[in-house]
Amino acid sequence: MSKRIPESELIINSDGSIYHLNLKPEHLASTIIAVGDPDRVEKVSQYFDTIEFKMSKREFVTHTGTYKGKRITAISTGMGTDNIEIFMTELDALVNIDLETRMPKESHTSLNIIRVGTSGSMQADIPAGSMLASRYGVGLDTLMAYYTTDYTDLEANVAKAIQKKLGVSFLPYCIEGSKVLLKRLGNGLLIGNTATCPGFFAPQGREVRLKPAIPDIIERLSTISVGDFKMTNFEMETAGYYAMGRLLGHEVLSLNAIVANRITHEFAKDSYAIVDQLIKHTLDKIAE
């Protein structure tokens, strides 16, 4: 028997919208393009035929409209898996909880959620300017210490291999994204496995004024090999999306505009052009 979810646990604003996203169920399409940067939302919605709704709260900027007749919501999440935990839980609540009775709905609605983000390559042969779909996300954060889920043997083996290789005290997590969305949207992109880091600098091996505790983290991660599993790129959200997607029952895929190559030390001359190309790819594949 499901239980009523108390006011303190799932917070609904006085206008009936959900706490952080500030959205009501009718504001959300079942296909969602999620981006990190709030300014990127209008870079997506500029291509919409019509925009029916706009909202902005904290880092969560939302535009809902249609592209080639298909209803789509573009939302920003800000940076990091802590934001993704909030984002995914509240998105799920909008479709799977009756916000008036506070009871989980009897039938489950699964959303299609596609992240369009920027990322750094850890392989010399994946240059800045590439577009890559993540088959797996590897969380180097500790989000999954707070949730329990089942992992496949490959996922568990990768997590253990990475823990050993990095010599960290916590167990990273490895989760596959949506096979269905990868088939639909991955066509024409590189396919890789993405390291999701709890920071941009030391957790991705960057040294500015502070020396990273694992100075050779790029070398250690880029040479991990479990069967034919190899790590390809760094960013800060994908594994959180894949974990929350599995837990909550949504299809999630992460697409990456590779703006930096950490081996050759190149940064894309026009990172916005690559992101734009990836946005157009995503919209067209969704509309097919």
Which of 239, 252, 260, 275 binds ligand URA (CB under 6 A)? It is: 260
- Residue 188: CB atoms within 10 A of its CB come to 9
Residue 60: name its binding partner from ligand R1P, ligand URA, none (Cβ under 5 to 8 Å by kind): none
- Residue 235 in contact with ligand URA, rule: CB under 6 A: yes
Helix (H, G, I), strand (E, B) or coil at 39: helix
Give dist(CA 44, CA 261) in Å, integer: 25
What are the Cα distances from residue 37, in Å, to 21, 29, 58, 224, 227? Answer: 15, 20, 12, 30, 35
Alpha helices per DSSP H over 97-237: 153-166, 179-185, 217-222
Give dist(CA 25, CA 92) in Å, integer: 10
Alpha helices per DSSP H over 108-197: 153-166, 179-185
Contact track, ligand URA, 72-111, x by CB under 6 A: ----------------------------------------
Residue 260: name its binding partner from ligand URA, ligand R1P, none (Cβ under 5 to 8 Å by kind): ligand URA
Task: Quote the least distance from Cβ 236 to ligand R1P, whole Å.
Answer: 3
- Residue 158: CB atoms within 10 A of its CB come to 25
Query: What backbone phi and psi angles, to 5 degrees, belong to 129?
Result: 105, -15
Contact track, ligand URA, 120-139, x by CB under 6 A: x-------------------
The whole-angstrom distance between residue 191's C-alpha and the CA centroid of its chain comes to 15
Contact track, ligand R1P, 157-196, x by CB under 6 A: ----------------------------------------
Helix (H, G, I), strand (E, B) or coil at 35: strand
- Residue 236 in contact with ligand URA, rule: CB under 6 A: yes
Q: Which is nearer to ligand URA, 48 or 234 (CB)?
A: 234
The whole-angstrom distance between residue 187's C-alpha and the CA centroid of its chain comes to 19
- Residue 59 in contact with ligand R1P, rule: CB under 6 A: no
- Residue 119 in contact with ligand URA, rule: CB under 6 A: yes
Segment interacting with ligand URA (CB under 6 A) among 37-45, 64-72, 138-146, 234-242? 234-242
Interacting residues with ligand URA (CB under 6 A): 118-120, 200, 204, 234-236, 259-260
